[in-house]
Amino acid sequence: MQTAELPELMWEKRLALEYKLMRENEPLFDIVDNDLTHYMGVIIGSGIYENGYFRVEIFVPRSFPFTPPEIIWHTRIWHPNFSDDQPARICESLLKADWSPSIHLFSIVETLRNLLNEPNPDDPLNSIAAMELKYNPEIFKAHVRQYILAFAREDQAFI
């Protein structure tokens, strides 16, 4: 089964729109090497992830917007909805079953920010982090702080 693609002119217009919207809404993200299909940026945590700086890379496939972009979460993180790998896998239905061609790249970054700051222990990729959050939140918060100090410092994110 072949994936649909926009005609070339519409594809170029969509990429230009995505770039404009990203610059307006996500100033910590920019294209890499003048390539409108490749973004790198930083999501700054809040709440228990405060002072955490998380590097994220976005690759826009030619089949976009009919298929979601590839997201690479470079910063190791202690979170129920991210794997404890580097790069981390992300548990997010928006990037799979709930994907729609009307979704813009800046919306994905906002969704990732919301997921970061509002962990859902009932849909985990990291079951240990989920158990800690549910049954021993103080241990979970301490674990998060350790990871931020070790992996998510500002000087590590902006390299």
Domain limits of the chain? 8-157
pLDDT attached to residue 1: 54
pLDDT at 75 (0 to 100):
97
d(Cα 99, Cα 83) in Å, to the nearest integer? 21
- Count CB neighbours of 137 within 10 A: 12
pLDDT at residue number 66: 95
- Per the DSSP assignment, residues forming a β-bridge with 74 are none
- 57 beta partners: 40, 72
**pLDDT value at residue 10:** 95
Which residues of the chain fall below pLDDT 50?
Answer: none
pTM of this structure: 0.93
pLDDT score recorded for residue 118? 94
Three-state secondary structure string covering the chain: CCCCCCCHHHHHHHHHHHHHHHHHHCCCEEEECCEEEEEEEEEECCHHHCCCEEEEEEECCCCCCCCCCEEEECCCCCCCCECCCCCECECCHHHCCCCCCCCCHHHHHHHHHHHHHCCCCCCCCCHHHHHHHHHCHHHHHHHHHHHHHHHCCHHHHCC
Please give the CATH architecture assigned to the domain spanning 8-157.
Roll (3.10)
- 91 annotated active-site: yes
Active-site residue, selected from the candidate residues 91, 105, 109, 116? 91
